[in-house]
Amino acid sequence: MKLLVINGPNLNMLGIREPDIYGSQTYADLEGFIHHAAVECGIQVEVFQSNHEGDIVDKIQWAYGKMDGIIINPAAYTHTSIAILDALKAVSLPCVEVHLSDVRQREPFRQVSYAGMACETSFIGLGFEGYRKAIQHFTKKG
Ligand code: DQA
């Protein structure tokens, strides 16, 4: 099984950005965590990060016919991007949404998730562990 993990804008700033919300671990730490979880679960993973909405749309389209599923943390684009929602629907790959922080307990503008509308499930507010749970969601389905 091959999964594509997509991380959206400002997640490359982990460790620097708002550590009270996102913690002190860096984006490199997150990539390492995801690769380790993938090995543990016996699957292949490709991890992609971009600050650009169109690049994320391109990567989702690229996954069509190559990947078995997508794990996505669209970051701020979660709450704004119909283009990312449409791309996920277009490729029709099974998709799981992850957020490091508990967006449900944050500002009103974070209460909508467009990408989430194309996802089978979401892991929210579990920090890095949410990515492991997302991988396990795919491997448990077998
Ligand atoms: C986030 C939550 C979003 O609201 C925010 O814009 C992010 C990160 C999270 O992982 O908690 O950049 O997706």
pTM value is 0.98
Beta strands in 11-139 (DSSP E): 44-49, 69-73, 95-99, 121-124
CB–CB of 3/59 below 8 Å? no
Write down the catalytic residue from 22, 27, 114, 131: 22
Q: With 80 as the cut, is the pLDDT of residue 5 above it?
A: yes
Closest-CA residue to 114 (of 134, 101, 97): 97
Q: Which atom of ligand 1 is nearest to the CA of 101?
A: 11
Q: With 60 as the cut, is the pLDDT of residue 77 above it?
A: yes
pLDDT band at 85 (very low <50, low <70, confident <90, very high): very high
Query: Is residue 12 in contact with ligand 1, taking CB distance under 6 Å?
Result: no
Q: Which residues pair with 47 in a beta bridge?
A: 5
**pLDDT, mean of residues 116-126:** 98
pLDDT of res. 33? 98
Q: With 90 as the cut, is the pLDDT of residue 42 above it?
A: yes
- Domains of the chain in start order, with CATH, are 2-141 (3.40.50.9100)
- When the pLDDT of each residue in the chain is averaged and rounded to a whole number, the result is 97
% the chain with pLDDT above 90: 99
CB–CB of 20/47 below 8 Å? no
35 is catalytic: no
52 is catalytic: no
pLDDT band at 142 (very low <50, low <70, confident <90, very high): low
Q: With 60 as the cut, is the pLDDT of residue 10 above it?
A: yes
CA 83 to centroid of chain Cα atoms: 16
How many Å lie between the centroid of ligand 1 and the Cα of residue 108? 13
**pLDDT, mean of residues 123-137:** 98
Token pair 């920090």: residue: 127
Q: What are phi and psi of 49, to 5 degrees?
A: -130, 140
Q: How far apart are CA 70 and CA 97, in angstroms?
A: 9
pLDDT tens sequence across 44-69: 999 999 999 999 999 999 999 999 99
Q: Which atom of ligand 1 is nearest to the CA of 17?
A: 12
